[in-house]
A and B are shown apart, each in its own frame.
Chain A
C-alpha cells in the first residue's frame, strides 16, 4: 500500500478511444489490486476495473486545456484514456501505477493475495484437477513403443522440463543423457502427442548443439529410437520452425540444426516462423493500427498488412497443419524444435494436437493441452508475459498467437469445438492477470520452488465451474475423430476484433448470437429438468417410485452441454466459489466496488 500516493481522485474524465463523444466523468480509485473508475456523470452506475498487473504501459502526457492526460493500456488490450484535472494528482497516479503494474518480485502478484475462501484440501484438489500425466494414459501410454520415465525427477536431465517425460522404449539411459548434452539447455526429444490411429508421434526438443559440423551418436540414436517407435513408417520428419537464415546463424554460435547426412531416414524441413522479437514488434504495430482514431478503410488495411501480424499467425497455422498432415496422412512421426523449444515449438505442437484430436477441442481438453504443452514443458510465462519487472526483450505474445490460431480454427469450424470465443478470451485474460498461480513461473521447477501449489490457487477448477458460459451451443460431437484440415489461404485469416477491441464495445456486433443461443439452450434445459422433476414427483405420488427425499435430485447428467451439470461439479473438483461472488483480499474503499467482479470490465448496474 505504500505505493499508493493518492487513493482517490475526483472529477476525472474518461475519453472514448475512437469517437469524440462527450467524455464520462467520474471518480478514480486506486486499491491494492485494481484501478477503478466509477462514472458519476450518468444515471446508470458504470464501473471500469483494471487489475494493476494487467497494465502494460501507463503514460502521462503533457498538460492540455482539459487537464492532464493519462493513457493506460493493458495486456488484455484494454485501453483507457483518462484526463485528470490536477497535474499533481495525475503525477501521483502515474507514479503509483508504474510501480504497481511492475512488481519487483513474483510474490507481489495478485495470485498470492487472492483467496477464494478454500481450505488446503480444496486447494490441493484444485491443483490436481488437471494432470498432464493422465493425458498420456489417455493416449494409451505406456505401450509397446513408448514409456514414461522419471529420469528427470530431480530436474537433473533438464531443468526446464517436467519431471515425467515420454520417451521411446528402446532409448537407453545413456542415449537419453547423451542426447541431453547435445541439445540446447538439455531439452531432449520427448513425446508431445501420440496418434493412436497411425502409431506416429509428435516429439519436441530444442536445437542441437551441432555448430558447423558437430555430431552426437546418442542424439542420432535418440532420433532412431523415435523413428523405430513407428515401425510402419520408413522415415520421420524433423521440423525446424525457424526461418532457415536464423537457424544457419545459430550454427555459427555452436548451435544449429540437424544435418540430414548424420541422421538416418529423416526428412528435414524449415517452416519459417519468426522469433519472439519480430513477434513483439509486429504486435506493437498491430496495436498502433487499433489505436488510430478514425482511420479510413485503406489506412486500416494497409496498417494491418504492414504490421505483418496475420502473416505470422498464418505461419504458425501452416506449421501446425504440416504436422497434422504428416501424422494423419503420411503416418510419419515428427520431431519439432525451434531454438530453445519453448515458444514456437509449443505453439506448433499444441495446434497440431488440436487438429488431430477432438479431445483438445473440448473444454477440459484445452486445459489439459495448455497444461501439457505450455506449462509443464517450460514456456516461460513469467518472462513472456512480463509478470514482473524484467528484461523487456523477453516479453513476447507467443501464447496470444496460439490462442488466435485457435480462434481462426473455430471460425472455420463453427461446430467443431465444445468451447466458444469467451473461453479463449478468459484463458488469455488469466494468463496475464495472475489471479491464479498456473501461469506464474517459467518452468515446473520454479513453480515448486515458489511453493505455488500451497500459496496460490489453480484456475482450471474455476473455469470448469463456469463452463456453461464457455460452451459452444453449435458443437457437434458427431464429428467424431475427424482430423481438421483447415484452409490456410491468406483470405481465411481475419483481424480478431473480439480480442484486440474487446473492450471497445461499440465495435463489437451489437447483438451476440452466442449469448442468445446460450440463453435459449439453457432455458430449454431448465424446462426439461422441470419436466423430469414433475414426472418424478408424479411417479412418487403414484407410488411407482420410492421417494428419495430429494425432489430436486436431478436425473443423471444428460449431456455434457447441459448447464445443470454445473451443480454436480466434477469428480475431482469441489466448487471453488459460489457463482461469481468472490471476496477480495484487501480492498479498502469500495462502497460500490461490489464484490461481484474480479475482472476489470465495465459493469452496468
Chain B
C-alpha cells in the first residue's frame, strides 16, 4: 500500500506542541506512514519528538481563526496538543492521522518496517517452544504427554501446534473433545505444581446446549486429569446464572451428573464491553480535575475498575488455594476461554510458582498463557480508553492482568524480579509497538502473516542486558513460597503509575524509584 496517498500535507512549519511535563515547543511537524515527527531547532540544539501513529486513540480538531488545534489522545493515556497554522494543513494532517492510526492490515503495520541496527531478523523469535517447556518438566512426563494433534491448527485455530495433555488420552480422543468445546479449546495443562503433582488445566466452555448433550471423551479426559486424586475443581469465571444461560446459545457447563468427581465453583468476572467501559470511566475519572473528594470517590467506585481487580485477584487466590492448600487439580474456563480464563490462570501461577516471578519467567508466562494460548490481542487492543469509535471486540483484559500483577508486586515488593516500569512498558506496547509480539489474535495468524520472520520480538529485546537492567527489581529476593495477596478492599490501590502517569505528581515518584535503585546498588557495592 502507498501511504503517501493518504498524506496530503507532509510538513508544516511553526507548529506548537504541548505535552505533559514540558513547556510548549515550536517546530516543524512531519507526517510519515507510521509516525508523527516533531522537530525543533533551537540555536544549536535540536529536539525530536516521535509519536507512533498507532498509539493515537482519538483525535479532536478545533478550528480557531485561520489556524487549527489538534488534540491527540493516546492509547498510553497521554494527551498532546498541536497548534497548526493554516486551516487546510490542519485538516489534512488530521485526516492523515485518522486514517494511518487505524490501519487494519497486519502487514502494513509498523513492526514490519521497524529495522533497528542493533537487532537482526535472524535472532530467535519468542522465548521458548512448547517442546522445550515440556522437556524441562521431567517430573510430569510419566503422566502427561506433548500432543501435536493441532500441528496444522485444524483442531483448534487459537491453540498453538503443541499442547500438554494426559498420557492416556490419544489424539483421536482430543479431536472429539475439541468438537465439544467452544472454538475447539479442549482442556490442556497450563501449570504443574511440583509440590504435590496437582495441575491447572484450562479450556473453553463445553457445548452442552439446551438438551444437556454429553461427550464421553471429554468426561474421559477430565477423569484422566484427576486419576487417583479423587476430586477436582472447576472454576467457572461466570456466575451460575450466566453459565445456565449459556446453554441457550449452545454453550454450557460441566454438570454434576456427568462429571461426578468435579466440583464447580462460580466466580463472576466481567469481560468484553463491561470491562472496556470500566476502563473508559476510570480514565475519565482520573482526568477530572475538579476539586471534590466525594465526586472522585464516587466516580472511582462507579468505574468498577477496582472491583474487577478485586475479583480477578480473589479468584486467582481461590484457584491457587485449591491447588496448594487443598491439593486438588483445577480446570478453569469461562465461555471462550481466551480472556478471563487466562487472567485467572496466569495470576494463580504468579502466586504459586517462583519461576514465573523472574523477568524472563514472567515474559515466558505471558508468552505461554497469552500469546500462544490465543488471547486475541489485535481485537482486544484495537482501541483504548479515549476512542469515540463504536466498541467492537475491545476489552482491556491484559491491562487488568498487569494491574493485578502490580497489586501483587506492591504487596510483595521483594518477590518479583521485574519492576513497575516493565508493567508500564507492556501496557504501552500491547496497544502500539515497534515490535511484532502483540500483533494478530493467535499463533496461527502470526505465522500466516510472517510476524515471526519479518518483525522483531519484544520479549527477546526486553531480555537484552541493557533493557534487563532497566526493568529488573533492585529489591528482588527470590522466595520459594507462594505469595498470597490480601484482597481486602483496603489492601488494593489504584495503579497510579499507569492511570495517573501524566500528572505532575508522577515526577517525584519516579525520582524516588531512581533514588531507591541507586541506594540499593550503593549498598550492594559496599558489602
Q: Which positions in A face B, CB cutoff 8 Å?
A: 18, 290, 294-302, 304-305, 308, 310-311, 314, 412-416, 473-474, 476, 487-495, 497, 500-501, 506-513, 516-517, 520-521, 523-524, 527-528
Return chain A residues, CB-CB under 8 Å to B292. Answer: 311, 490
Contact between chains at B489 and A474 (CB < 8 Å): no
Contact between chains at B490 and A524 (CB < 8 Å): no
Return chain B residues, CB-CB under 8 Å to A521. Answer: 519, 523
Contact between chains at A511 and B486 (CB < 8 Å): no
Contact between chains at B293 and A295 (CB < 8 Å): no
Contact between chains at A511 and B412 (CB < 8 Å): yes
**CB proximity of B519 to chain A, nearest CB, Å:** 6
A to B CB contacts below 8 Å, 21 in the list: A295-B489, A296-B307, A298-B304, A414-B509, A473-B519, A489-B505, A490-B292, A491-B300, A500-B490, A501-B490, A506-B486, A507-B486, A510-B411, A511-B414, A513-B414, A513-B475, A513-B516, A516-B413, A520-B523, A520-B527, A521-B519
Contact between chains at B489 and A412 (CB < 8 Å): no
Contact between chains at A489 and B516 (CB < 8 Å): no
Residue of B nearest to A475 (CB): B515
Query: Which residue of A18, A294, A295, A305 is within 8 Å of B297 (Cβ)?
Result: A305
B492 in contact (CB, < 8 A): yes
B458-505 interface (Cβ within 8 A of A): 475, 483-484, 486, 488-494, 500, 503-505
Return chain B residues, CB-CB under 8 Å to A493. Answer: 293
Return chain A residues, CB-CB under 8 Å to B297. Answer: 301-302, 304-305, 310, 490
Contact between chains at B516 and A474 (CB < 8 Å): yes
Bound-complex Cα distance A523 to B525 (A): 12
Bound-complex Cα distance A294 to B486 (A): 12
Bound-complex Cα distance A598 to B340 (A): 49
Contact between chains at A516 and B475 (CB < 8 Å): yes
Q: Add 12 more A-B contacts to A305-B294, A311-B293 (CB < 8 A).
A: A296-B310, A296-B489, A297-B304, A300-B490, A301-B489, A414-B509, A489-B505, A490-B297, A495-B490, A513-B413, A513-B414, A520-B527
Bound-complex Cα distance A415 to B483 (A): 29
Contact between chains at A298 and B301 (CB < 8 Å): yes
Query: Which residue of A492, A495, A527 is within 8 Å of B527 (Cβ)?
Result: A527
Contact between chains at B527 and A474 (CB < 8 Å): no
Contact between chains at B411 and A509 (CB < 8 Å): yes
**CB proximity of A443 to chain B, nearest CB, Å:** 33
B284-311 interface (Cβ within 8 A of A): 285-286, 289-298, 300-301, 304, 306-307, 309-310
Residue of B nearest to A512 (CB): B413
Return chain B residues, CB-CB under 8 Å to A476. Answer: 515
Query: Which of A295, A302, A489, A521 is packed against the most chain B CB atoms within 10 Å?
Result: A489
Bound-complex Cα distance A300 to B294 (A): 13
Interface size on B (CB < 8 Å)? 53
Query: Which residue of B306, B412, B512, B527 is within 8 Å of A509 (Cβ)?
Result: B412
Contact between chains at B489 and A489 (CB < 8 Å): no
Bound-complex Cα distance A412 to B433 (A): 31
Return chain A residues, CB-CB under 8 Å to B294. Answer: 305, 308, 311
Residue of B nearest to A305 (CB): B297
Bound-complex Cα distance A491 to B475 (A): 28
B511 in contact (CB, < 8 A): yes
Top 6 closest pairs, chain A to chain B, by CB = A414-B512, A300-B489, A490-B296, A301-B301, A305-B297, A297-B307
Residue of A nearest to B504 (CB): A487
Contact between chains at A491 and B301 (CB < 8 Å): no
Query: Which residue of B293, B295, B306, B516 is within 8 Å of A297 (Cβ)?
Result: B306
Contact between chains at B298 and A305 (CB < 8 Å): yes
Bound-complex Cα distance A416 to B289 (A): 25
Return chain A residues, CB-CB under 8 Å to B509. Answer: 414
**CB proximity of A19 to chain B, nearest CB, Å:** 9
Contact between chains at B291 and A489 (CB < 8 Å): yes
Contact between chains at B289 and A18 (CB < 8 Å): no
**CB proximity of B338 to chain A, nearest CB, Å:** 25
Convert B151-176 into 0s and 1s, putting 1 for each residue whose CB lies closer than 8 angstroms to a CB of A.
Answer: 00000000000000000000000000
Query: Which residue of A311, A507, A511, A523 is within 8 Å of B413 (Cβ)?
Result: A511
Beyond A304-B297, A491-B296, is A524–B515 a contact (Cβ under 8 Å)? no
Return chain A residues, CB-CB under 8 Å to B411. Answer: 509-511
Query: Which residue of B286, B310, B524 is within 8 Å of A491 (Cβ)?
Result: B286
Query: Which residue of B301, B415, B523, B527 is within 8 Å of A302 (Cβ)?
Result: B301
**CB proximity of B37 to chain A, nearest CB, Å:** 32
B410 in contact (CB, < 8 A): yes
B389 in contact (CB, < 8 A): no
Contact between chains at B291 and A507 (CB < 8 Å): no
Return chain A residues, CB-CB under 8 Å to B490. Answer: 290, 300, 495, 497, 500-501, 507
**CB proximity of B491 to chain A, nearest CB, Å:** 5
Bound-complex Cα distance A510 to B292 (A): 33
**CB proximity of B162 to chain A, nearest CB, Å:** 37
Contact between chains at B410 and A509 (CB < 8 Å): yes
Contact between chains at A490 and B310 (CB < 8 Å): no
Contact between chains at B519 and A517 (CB < 8 Å): yes
Return chain A residues, CB-CB under 8 Å to B413. Answer: 509, 511-513, 516
**CB proximity of B111 to chain A, nearest CB, Å:** 35
B104 in contact (CB, < 8 A): no
Return chain B residues, CB-CB under 8 Å to A290. Answer: 490
**CB proximity of A338 to chain B, nearest CB, Å:** 21
Contact between chains at A297 and B508 (CB < 8 Å): no
B526 in contact (CB, < 8 A): yes
Residue of B nearest to A308 (CB): B294
**CB proximity of A18 to chain B, nearest CB, Å:** 6
Contact between chains at A18 and B488 (CB < 8 Å): yes
Return chain B residues, CB-CB under 8 Å to A297. Answer: 301, 304, 306-307, 309-310, 489, 492
Bound-complex Cα distance A515 to B243 (A): 47
**CB proximity of B366 to chain A, nearest CB, Å:** 23
Return chain B residues, CB-CB under 8 Å to A511. Answer: 411-415
Query: Which residue of B291, B300, B505 is within 8 Å of A301 (Cβ)?
Result: B300
Residue of A nearest to B488 (CB): A507
**CB proximity of A485 to chain B, nearest CB, Å:** 9
**CB proximity of B480 to chain A, nearest CB, Å:** 14
Bound-complex Cα distance A310 to B296 (A): 11
Query: Which residue of B304, B486, B500, B526 is within 8 Å of A524 (Cβ)?
Result: B526
Bound-complex Cα distance A368 to B293 (A): 32
**CB proximity of B503 to chain A, nearest CB, Å:** 7
B520 in contact (CB, < 8 A): yes
Query: Which residue of A488, A490, A497 is within 8 Å of B491 (Cβ)?
Result: A497
B138 in contact (CB, < 8 A): no
Contact between chains at A487 and B527 (CB < 8 Å): no
Residue of A nearest to B295 (CB): A490
Bound-complex Cα distance A521 to B520 (A): 8
Query: Which residue of A18, A298, A310, A509 is within 8 Å of B293 (Cβ)?
Result: A310
Bound-complex Cα distance A487 to B410 (A): 23
**CB proximity of A409 to chain B, nearest CB, Å:** 11
B522 in contact (CB, < 8 A): yes
Contact between chains at A494 and B293 (CB < 8 Å): no
**CB proximity of B102 to chain A, nearest CB, Å:** 31
Return chain A residues, CB-CB under 8 Å to B306. Answer: 297, 301
Beyond A510-B412, A528-B526, is A490–B508 a contact (Cβ under 8 Å)? no
Bound-complex Cα distance A52 to B395 (A): 54
Return chain B residues, CB-CB under 8 Å to A412. Answer: 505, 508
Bound-complex Cα distance A304 to B524 (A): 42
Bound-complex Cα distance A489 to B489 (A): 22
Query: Which residue of A295, A415, A501 is within 8 Å of B512 (Cβ)?
Result: A415
Bound-complex Cα distance A476 to B292 (A): 32
Beyond A491-B494, A507-B490, A511-B413, is A474–B515 a contact (Cβ under 8 Å)? yes
Bound-complex Cα distance A474 to B474 (A): 14
Contact between chains at A490 and B291 (CB < 8 Å): yes
Query: Which residue of B289, B293, B515, B526 is within 8 Å of A527 (Cβ)?
Result: B526
Return chain A residues, CB-CB under 8 Å to B505. Answer: 412, 487, 489, 492
**CB proximity of B296 to chain A, nearest CB, Å:** 4
Residue of B nearest to A18 (CB): B488
Return chain A residues, CB-CB under 8 Å to B512. Answer: 414-415, 474
Return chain B residues, CB-CB under 8 Å to A492. Answer: 505
